[in-house]
Structure 1
Amino acid sequence: MQKIRIGIMVCTAQRPKMLENCLHSLITQKILPEWHVEICVVENDSEPRSRETVDAVSAGTSIPIHYTQEATRGIPYARNKTLRESLERGYHWIALIDDDEIALYNWLKTHMEAVDQFSAHVSYGAVQKNFEKQPPDWWYPEIPNHHPAGHSLPRASTNNVLFSARLISPPADLRFNPAYLYGYEDLDFFEAAYARKFKIVWTPGAIVEEEVPASRVEPTRLLNWSKSSSAAHVQVSILRKGYLRSALKFSIKGMRRLLGGAIGSAFFLVLAKFGSKKAVYRHYKSRMRLARGLGNLQGVLQKPYRYYQVIDGQ
């Protein structure tokens, strides 16, 4: 009887210590006898900075760990390299996890049970964030997903997901769109899968823990994320609805946010100097609005801020 071939794919860039922790969590997964599991690390860099880390972990496990590089920088390029590797190695199921995450012991088993139990093509798992430093109170709160296991979803992201090779094989042939260099490439991929009637289910028991370094929750970094996210949404609209329609919509929205955010941030900054905590809160909320407005306009000009060029962690 042919074993089920499962590929666990990890994209990484200049974070060998985080990658090492991630790989150790993967080689200790519960593996069933009817599975053949392999791990593939795709380093998104022209230099093999993590090769030694991969070799060291590989020497201590019977699970095959493959290493390859994608020299063209950008998350969609690295993700597409994982898809090419998956097809070449004949995986039936592909799991994606980020290099700054640690999979709990039954992570893979829970994903595989979910696709079997719910006759699904995609299983999307939960992410528990471990903050080195807590985000400021003006930032978006972490809102847990309380849906039950098997709840149908219209999309997923790539930080904790298992999906059938049918998504990337003919006739579907889905790929990550390299136009999305600033975010949203994973949501776009799974939205396209959902549109093609592939079933995506929520699997809260398939848990990964994400290590969030303090640098990622510094105010400037958070504001830059807001800017980049807003630019990415403009990019999505341009690709799906056309440039003129999108440019008109987001130029108006961007200018409105820009004006309101600039006035609000300046006004509340003055009040904050008198020691008002509420004014500090409103000042940063206004700066977030300003950042989103700048992101909208940069998206319209098609020159968005490249948030992911800065690497947090090590």
Structure 2
Amino acid sequence: MQRIGIMICTARRPQMLENCLRSLTSQEVPDSWQVEICVVENDQEPRSQERVEAVAAATRFPIHYALEERRGIPFARNRTLHEAIERKYDWVALIDDDEIALPGWLEAHMRFIQEQGADVSYGAVTKNFEKQPPDWWYPEIPSSNPAGMVLPRASTNNVLFSAKLIQPPAELRFNPAFLYGYEDLDFFEAATAKGFKIVWSPDAVVEEYVPASRVAPKRLLGWSRSSSAAHVQVSVLRKGYLKSAVKFSIKGLRRLLGGVFGSALFYLPAKLGSERAVYRYFKSRMRLARGLGNLQGVLQKPYRYYEVIDGQ
């Protein structure tokens, strides 16, 4: 009997969470699998518990609820690992509350694990935009990796892994230092370093709903700033503060100056309606945001992007 736990972290998005849960409870699985779902709400009070219990009352899969009051993504993710160990799961799947699992999602993950002799299956994410991102933002390009390709890392938005990663002797956990991003990449990079095998599983697909608020210019620039700060934090933890501070101070100042110059140069033409100027203006604003993020990382004051919740 294979015991599989599907874990979801959520915060103040009850409708998205319900949509996610219903996509999971509709998965077809063999009788030899014992599947359970666990929701960890990262909040001071149980805002979504009633919604979870309503879905649980109408499904064949047991659904457990836990409240993690310490605010921060690493704390919520580590609570899912704690629940997985307590419930003695053999396999742990992670999915975000703003995603829905397409039919055959769980079966595809398990099939790739078995076929590839892997410890981790990393699946595909397609995005359903309420509003298309602006032209100056990074385009969405589907992965061209061949099925079964070995990867150096994964993220937590669509992944299934062996409980061996979180049991002795490996005992991997999400580093609580990464309050503002990169905690999932760090976790799976550590798994690779310990010899666990991660494979690409394109048939295990989830669809992520992206509300219009998340592709507003302010939020996109905020993400760039937060991501750049997080990369400094990674470097500090792995290479030491002094070496990282020198590197990212220079990079941050160069980006800052270039971003300020470009923003000033293209501001007026952009306001006058030139499409090319709008594109160049926001590219400069992105460079400025990355520079500010680098410097905030050096000062160890990360940008708090994830404190704003998009969707409902």
TM range (shorter): over 0.9
| Cα drift, residue 273 of structure 1 | 3.1
Residue 272 of structure 1 is aligned with which of 259, 265, 270?
Answer: 270
Classify the secondary structure of the residue corresponding to 1:69: strand
For the pair 1:113 / 2:99, whether they are aligned, the reply is: no
For the pair 1:207 / 2:175, whether they are aligned, the reply is: no
Q: Corresponding residue for 1:130?
A: 128
Classify the secondary structure of the residue corresponding to 1:201: strand
Q: Corresponding residue for 1:149?
A: 147
Residue 79 of structure 2 is aligned with which of 58, 78, 81?
Answer: 81
| Cα drift, residue 271 of structure 1 | 2.0
C-alpha distance in 1, partners of 2:256/2:297? 14
C-alpha distance in 2, partners of 1:33/1:274? 64
RMSD: 0.6
| Cα drift, residue 105 of structure 1 | 1.3
C-alpha distance in 2, partners of 1:279/1:183? 31
| Cα drift, residue 302 of structure 1 | 0.4
CA deviations 1:149-201 (Å, max 9, x no partner) are: 10100000000000000000111000000000010000000000011110000
C-alpha distance in 2, partners of 1:187/1:273? 39
| Cα drift, residue 121 of structure 1 | 0.1
Q: Write out aligned runs for 1:199-238 (5 A).
A: 199-238=197-236
Classify the secondary structure of the residue corresponding to 1:48: coil
| Cα drift, residue 31 of structure 1 | 1.2
Q: Write out aligned runs for 1:92-107 (5 A).
A: 92-107=90-105
C-alpha distance in 1, partners of 2:190/2:141? 25
Q: Corresponding residue for 2:44?
A: 46
For the pair 1:91 / 2:89, whether they are aligned, the reply is: yes
Q: Corresponding residue for 1:298?
A: 296
For the pair 1:16 / 2:49, whether they are aligned, the reply is: no
CA deviations 1:17-42 (Å, max 9, x no partner) are: 00000000000101111100000000
C-alpha distance in 1, partners of 2:85/2:273? 59
C-alpha distance in 2, partners of 1:209/1:148? 20
| Cα drift, residue 62 of structure 1 | 1.6
Q: Which 4+ stretches in 1 moved above 2 angstroms?
A: none
Q: What letter corresponds to residue 22 of structure 1 in structure 2?
A: C
Instruction: Structure 2: give runs of 5+ residues left out of the alignment.
Output: none
Q: What letter corresponds to residue 65 of structure 1 in structure 2?
A: I
Q: What letter corresponds to residue 244 of structure 2 in structure 1?
A: S
Q: Corresponding residue for 1:67?
A: 65
Residue 286 of structure 2 is aligned with which of 281, 285, 288?
Answer: 288
C-alpha distance in 2, partners of 1:163/1:46? 29
| Cα drift, residue 274 of structure 1 | 3.3
> Scaled by the length of structure 2, what TM-score is found?
0.99
> Scaled by the length of structure 1, what TM-score is found?
0.99
Q: What letter corresponds to residue 127 of structure 1 in structure 2?
A: V
Q: What letter corresponds to residue 87 of structure 2 in structure 1?
A: R
CA deviations 1:3-59 (Å, max 9, x no partner) are: 110000000000000000000000010111110000000000111000011011001
Classify the secondary structure of the residue corresponding to 2:245: helix
Q: What letter corresponds to residue 81 of structure 2 in structure 1?
A: L
Q: What letter corresponds to residue 240 of structure 1 in structure 2?
A: R
C-alpha distance in 1, partners of 2:48/2:163? 27
Instruction: Structure 1: give runs of 5+ residues left out of the alignment.
Output: none
Classify the secondary structure of the residue corresponding to 2:303: coil
The count of corresponding residues between Structure 1 and Structure 2 is 312
Residue 32 of structure 2 is aligned with which of 28, 31, 34?
Answer: 34
For the pair 1:174 / 2:162, whether they are aligned, the reply is: no
Classify the secondary structure of the residue corresponding to 2:203: strand
C-alpha distance in 2, partners of 1:175/1:42? 16
CA deviations 1:288-312 (Å, max 9, x no partner) are: 0000000000000000111100000
| Cα drift, residue 275 of structure 1 | 2.5
Classify the secondary structure of the residue corresponding to 2:200: strand
Residue 245 of structure 1 is aligned with which of 243, 250, 265?
Answer: 243
Q: What letter corresponds to residue 285 of structure 2 in structure 1?
A: R
Identity %: 73
